[in-house]
A and B are shown apart, each in its own frame.
Chain A
Amino acid sequence: MTATTTRPTNRIGLTTQDYQGGTSTLCAGCGHNSITSQIISACYDLSLDPASVIKMSGIGCSSKTPAYFLGRSFGFNTLHGRMPSVSTGAMLANRTMTAIGVSGDGDTGSIGFGQFKHMMRRNVPMVYIVENNGVYGLTKGQHSATADVGQHLKYAGTNSLPPIDICAEAIAADCGFVARSFSGDAKQLRELIKAAISYEGTAVIDIISPCVTFNNEDDSSKSYAYGKDKEERIQDIQFIQSFEEVVVDYEPGSEQIVKLHDGPTIKLRKLTREYDATDRWAAIKLLEESRNADIFVTGLIHINESRPTLQQTMSLIDEPLAYQTEAQLRPSRAAFAAVMAEF
Chain B
Amino acid sequence: MTSHDTVVSAPIIDPSIPIINDFSLVVATENGSGSQTANNTLIRAIFKMGVPVSGKNLFPSNISGLPTWYTIRVSHQGYAARREYSEILVAYNPRTSDEDLSKLPAGGVCIHPADMKFTTPRSDVVYYPVPVKDFLKEIAPPQHLRDYIINMSYVGVVTQLFNISRDEIESALMHHFNGKRKAVDLNLRMVDLAIAHTVASLPKQDPFRVEPLDKTAGKILIDGNTAAGIGAVVGGVGIVAWYPITPSTSLVDAITEYAPKLRPAVDDKVNYAIIQAEDELAAAGMIVGAGWAGVRAMTATSGPGLSLMNEFGGLAHFAEVPIVIWDIMRMGPSTGLPTRVSQGDILSAYYLGHGDSQHICLLPGDMSECFSFAGTAFDLAERFQTPVLVLSDLDLGMNNWMTAPFEYPETPFDRGKILHTASFEQFLADHDNKWGRYRDVDGDGITYRTIPGNQHPRAGWLGRGTGHNEQAVYSERSEDWQRNMERLSRKLETARTHVPAPVVDARAGATVGIIGYGSTSDAIAEARDQLRAQGIETSSMRLRSLPLNDEVRAFVAAFDVVYVVELNQDSQMLQLLCAHAPKHAGNLAPVNLCDGLPLTATFITNRILAHRASAQK
Contacts and interface: CB of A to CB of B under 8 A. Distances in A.
A97 B281 CA distance: 24
B325 interface: no
Contacts, number: 217
Contact of B452 (A54, A71, A343): A54
Nearest to B463: A76
B574 to A, nearest CB: 33
B473 A118 contact: no
A85 B236 CA distance: 22
Contact of A321 (B265, B272, B312): B272
Interface residues of A, number: 57
B537 interface: no
A97 B289 CA distance: 13
B258 A318 contact: no
Interface in A294-343: 314-318, 320-324, 326, 328-331, 333, 335-340, 343
A66 interface: yes
Contact of A75 (B239, B277, B462): B462
A93 B405 contact: no
B291 A315 contact: no
A241 interface: no
Interface residues on B, range: 35 or more
B295 interface: yes
Contact of A77 (B241, B277, B453, B464): B464
Contacts of A317: 266, 269-271
A80 to B, nearest CB: 9
Contacts of A85: 241, 277, 281-286, 288-289
B262 interface: yes
A86 interface: yes
Given A54-B452, A322-B295, A92 B273 contact: yes
Contacts of B296: 329
B269 A74 contact: no
Contacts of A92: 239, 273, 275, 286, 289-290, 295
A112 to B, nearest CB: 10
A271 interface: no
Interface string A98-124: 000000000000000011001000000
A213 interface: no
A335 B275 contact: no
A91 B286 CA distance: 9
Contacts of A87: 289
B452 A326 contact: no
A157 interface: no
A143 to B, nearest CB: 24
B543 to A, nearest CB: 28
Contact of B451 (A72, A318, A322, A331): A322
A50 interface: yes
Q: A54, A75, A92 — which one has the most chain B CB atoms within 10 A of its CB?
A: A92
A75 B474 CA distance: 13
Contacts of A29: none
A73 interface: yes
Contact of B270 (A50, A316, A323): A316
A115 B465 contact: no
A86 B451 contact: no
Contacts of A72: 457-458, 460
A18 to B, nearest CB: 9
Contacts of B295: 89, 92-94, 321-322
A227 B278 CA distance: 36
Contact of A76 (B258, B270, B279, B289): B289
B238 A343 contact: no
A119 to B, nearest CB: 9
8 contacts: A51-B460, A76-B319, A86-B286, A86-B292, A92-B289, A92-B290, A93-B297, A343-B405
Interface of B: 220-222, 230, 233-234, 236, 238-239, 241, 258, 261-266, 268-273, 275, 277-279, 281-297, 311-312, 315, 319, 405-406, 408-409, 412-413, 450-466, 473-474
